[in-house]
Amino acid sequence: MLFISNIMIWKTNPAAQRAWRSLMLRLNSATAGLSSGPGSWDRSDGLSCVSAEKPPHMPVMLKEVLHYLDVKPAQVVLDMTFGGGGHTKAILNTVPEVTVLALDRDPAAISLAQQLAKEHSGRVKPLLGRFSELEALLSNMNIKSGSIDAVLLDAGCSSMQMDQEERGFSLSKDGPLDMRMDGERYPDMPCAADVVNTLDQQALASILTAYGEERHSRKIASAIVEARRVNPITRTQQLASVVAGAFPPSVLYARKDRLQRRAHIATKTFQALRIFVNDELNELHKGLCVAQSALKPGGRLCVITFHSLEDRLVKRFLQGHDLSNLDRYHFSQNKQGSSKKKLVDESSERNKSSYWFPVKRKVVSPEKDDVRENPRGRSAKLRIALRR
């Protein structure tokens, strides 16, 4: 059995949700001993134990986070995405007697948190788990609702994960097509290779549209299906080549990022697969709900996002929109017309949340000098709110 039945992931787009169910049915019907002939692939090929040997990445918007969190001595801070620990280390070094609850779903990140806990005795409490597991983790530590002073949520994939080719997140480094943030905890959870080798063309196109906002989703999905008929797609650069092969060479690097640097045509495909595999939007919503419950009145929430899907979700959550039924709520900027009915009327609910008061009504973006020093943070957006 290739799937642990008690771990269900519900996707935020109806077509993508159907794709996930289809993937589950196909993987559940597969035998444990997959053949090595054409049309099959070994999901463990190239996978190795996650290593935390590489240096932690530079924390994004550190100066702004410290300013807006405004942590006081002896307060309790929840870092919901510990990652390389840059933000937590800065908090520990600048605020005396502060306690940091350090959460991450990635065992490699928690290994770093455990090391930091040894260096700061009693001030760091590592918590291994997803946002959806955080409520239970806090309860097990006897941390009650409304008792935390500040929360930081730095969404998305960490540089530490991107830099490790064996994790399969980066299209610029060849590695197994994995992309699971906590595959070590849940080795039977579907990985990106399962998605691209199992789902049909329509399902793949739905995923690329919903989570990558990819305009050429059908063309890319068709190329993937054609390529896997010859050989299973199991490596990151293999997938990048398949996507690139669907376009003429002149448009391979026609897209540009916010620094006007050329971006590979497969970038959005990789983003979409990563979000889908890790159920990132649903997890983000659950994390925001836990933060809302955990913060005391007057407590501060800082959320850093790195793409528009995340930012729109955070924005609407803080505005008080009902996002409890995410599979009917559309976050794609191009899907906001009359054909995609929203669950709420934005004009009537904007800025009327009974739970949050915005510290800054507009997002805070990195300064130019920070972007030059840390280009990976170029797309970061910081939103800050006070718990009412």
Q: Which H/E stretch holds residue 148?
A: strand 148-154
Spell out the domains of the chain, with CATH numbers in brackets. 62-160+280-324+354-387 (3.40.50.150), 170-278 (1.10.150.170)
Cβ neighbours for 93, distance < 8 A, ≥ 6 positions apart? none
3-state secondary structure of 100: strand
What residues does 151 pair with on adjacent strands? 78, 301
pLDDT tens digit sequence for 163-190: 788 898 988 889 999 999 999 999 999 9
Residue 39 falls in which region: left (phi positive, over 0), alpha (psi -120 to 50) or beta = left
Cβ neighbours for 173, distance < 8 A, ≥ 6 positions apart? 163, 165, 236, 237
Q: Which H/E stretch holds residue 221?
A: helix 217-230
Is it the case that residue 102 has pLDDT exceeding 90? Answer: yes
Instruction: Tell me which residue of 277, 219, 211 sits closest to 243, measured CA to CA.
Output: 219
Instruction: Tell me which residue of 186, 131, 134 sits closest to 5, measured CA to CA.
Output: 186
Is it the case that residue 270 has pLDDT exceeding 70? Answer: yes
What residues does 302 pair with on adjacent strands? 152, 384
Position with higher pLDDT, 359 vs 253: 359
- Let me know: does 102 contact 85? Beta carbons within 8 Å: yes
Class of residue 36 by CB neighbours under 10 A (exposed 0-12, middle 13-18, buried 19+): exposed
Is it the case that residue 135 has pLDDT exceeding 70? Answer: yes
Tokens matching residue 25: 């049915």
Round the average pLDDT of the chain to a whole number and report it: 83
Q: What is the mean pLDDT of residues 302-311?
A: 95
Query: What is the model's pLDDT at position 162?
Result: 76
Q: What is the mean pLDDT of residues 110-117?
A: 97
Is it the case that residue 59 has pLDDT exceeding 80? Answer: yes
- Let me know: does 379 contact 297? Beta carbons within 8 Å: no
Query: What is the model's pLDDT at position 331?
Result: 55
Separation of alpha carbons 283 and 368, rounded Å: 31
Query: What is the model's pLDDT at position 366?
Result: 94
Instruction: Tell me which residue of 58, 186, 48 sits closest to 129, measured CA to CA.
Output: 186
Separation of alpha carbons 351 and 315, rounded Å: 10
Residue owning tokens 């793409």: 307
Lowest mean pLDDT among 38-42, 64-68, 250-254: 38-42
Measured at the CA of 172, the angle between CA 309 and CA 165, to 5 degrees, comes to 95
Give the range with max mean pLDDT: 32-46, 174-188, 251-265: 174-188
Is it the case that residue 353 has pLDDT exceeding 60? Answer: yes
Q: What is the mean pLDDT of residues 191-216?
A: 96
Tokens matching residue 324: 């409890």
Q: Which pTM was predicted?
A: 0.83
Position with higher pLDDT, 252 vs 55: 252
Long-range contacts of range 332-338, CB-CB < 8 Å, 24 or more positions apart? 332/209, 332/210, 332/213, 333/213, 333/308, 334/213
Helix axes 280-294, 308-318, angle to 10 degrees: 30
Is it the case that residue 9 has pLDDT exceeding 80? Answer: no
- Give the type of residue at 209: T
Tokens matching residue 264: 């590979």
